[in-house]
Amino acid sequence: EEEGVRITPQLLKASTGEFALESILLLRLRGRGIAHLGCLGDCANLEWLDLSGNAIAQLGPLAALRSLAVLNLARNRVTSLEPLGSCHNLQSLNVAGNLVSSLHQLRCLTGLRRLESLRLRDPLARLANPLCAAPAYRTALADMFPALKAIDGERVSGRGSELYQLCRDLDSSLGRSDSDDAGPQPLPRVAQPWVEAGFWEPRPPRRSSIMEEAYKQFGEVLQECRELSRRADDTIAQAERALSSCPDPNSFVF
């Protein structure tokens, strides 16, 4: 008897409420203990698929999903991405927390002309692949996939790339100034949320993968804004400490 859950027509229909597999456009099967994709390839019009948190090792049935645009395979057991080379409409791929160990295993994706976002590592969820231990692997990915706009959730081209670089420079600057300060420092002020927690969380779309991607990008921009606000508060707090330590108001040096 095979271990793990197998995807069957009954499971798909029960999860989506659709009577025909060809009618399924969006499918969320997160954390179901799935090990075998079974008949998933029969969902010929599937556009958005979340299979994160399962026990999937083989992706063979996904080769038939020519309309698939968004695919989340985070936290599985995938070693080969070869079947995804046939998913010519794929735009966003998340394989963080799998077993991809070399750049050679990603060459099968170089023919995906619409691929814009590729995630191999998710520091917030503590997910990665063996490949991520290699130095400068993100630079190698950018060379291999010049059309990518985001790697591991960080933009490498298009709107937002300048913001990431600014934040990195700010981090480096604050790190040097912190090491030069002596004595205990007061805790930086923490910005308070404007609304209740969870208010800005993107809502999942009902049908279209395009809407799902829009919600995802909106959430990423909000996260960038929150992080920038936090860092700005830290900078203001450091400036206030520096000003308060000057004995002569006329001796400020900028």
Task: State the SS3 of the chain.
Answer: CCCCEECCHHHHHHHHCCCCHHHCCEEECCCCCEEECCCHHHCCCCCEEECCCCCCCCCHHHHHCCCCCEEECCCCCCCCCHHHHHCCCCCEEECCCCCCCCHHHHHHHCCCCCCCEEECCECCCCECCHHHHCCCHHHHHHHHCCCCCEECCEECCCCCHHHHHHHHHHHHHHHHHHHHCCCCCCCCCCCCCCCCCCCCCCCCCCCCHHHHHHHHHHHHHHHHHHHHHHHHHHHHHHHHHHHHCCCCHHHCCC
Query: Are 150 and 239 within one domain?
Result: no
Query: Are 126 and 231 within one domain?
Result: no
Inform me whether the pLDDT recorded for 103 exceeds 70: yes
In a domain, 172, yes or no: no
In a domain, 98, yes or no: yes
In a domain, 71, yes or no: yes
Query: Are 41 and 147 within one domain?
Result: yes
Where among 123, 158, 193 does a domain terminate?
158
pTM here is 0.64
Inform me whether the pLDDT recorded for 215 exceeds 90: no
Query: Are 33 and 103 within one domain?
Result: yes
> Residue 126 sits in a domain of what CATH number?
3.80.10.10
Query: Are 154 and 29 within one domain?
Result: yes
In a domain, 163, yes or no: no
Number of domains in the chain: 2
Inform me whether the pLDDT recorded for 241 exceeds 50: yes
Tokens of 219: 């959430």
Query: Are 219 and 153 within one domain?
Result: no
Query: Are 150 and 223 within one domain?
Result: no
Could you tell me which residue, 174 or 12, shows the higher pLDDT?
A: 12
For residue 66, the enclosing domain spans: 5-158
In a domain, 238, yes or no: yes
In a domain, 180, yes or no: no
Inform me whether the pLDDT recorded for 95 exceeds 80: yes
Tens digits of residue pLDDT in 32-52: 999 999 999 999 999 999 999
Dist CA 228 CA 109 (whole Å): 33
The confidence score (pLDDT) of residue 240 equals: 77
Q: Do 144 and 103 touch, CB atoms closer than 8 A?
A: yes
The confidence score (pLDDT) of residue 177 equals: 42
Dist CA 66 CA 1 (whole Å): 31
Query: Are 150 and 47 within one domain?
Result: yes
Where among 158, 186, 221 does a domain terminate?
158
Where among 158, 174, 195 does a domain terminate?
158
Query: Are 154 and 47 within one domain?
Result: yes
Query: Are 229 and 103 within one domain?
Result: no
Inform me whether the pLDDT recorded for 253 exceeds 50: no
Mean pLDDT of the chain: 82
In a domain, 186, yes or no: no
In a domain, 34, yes or no: yes
Query: Are 62 and 152 within one domain?
Result: yes
Tens digits of residue pLDDT in 108-167: 999 999 999 999 999 999 999 999 999 899 999 999 999 999 999 998 865 445 555 555
The confidence score (pLDDT) of residue 222 equals: 82
Report which listed range, 6-20, 194-208, 225-239, is most confident: 6-20
Query: Are 87 and 150 within one domain?
Result: yes
Average pLDDT of the segment spanning 25-32: 96
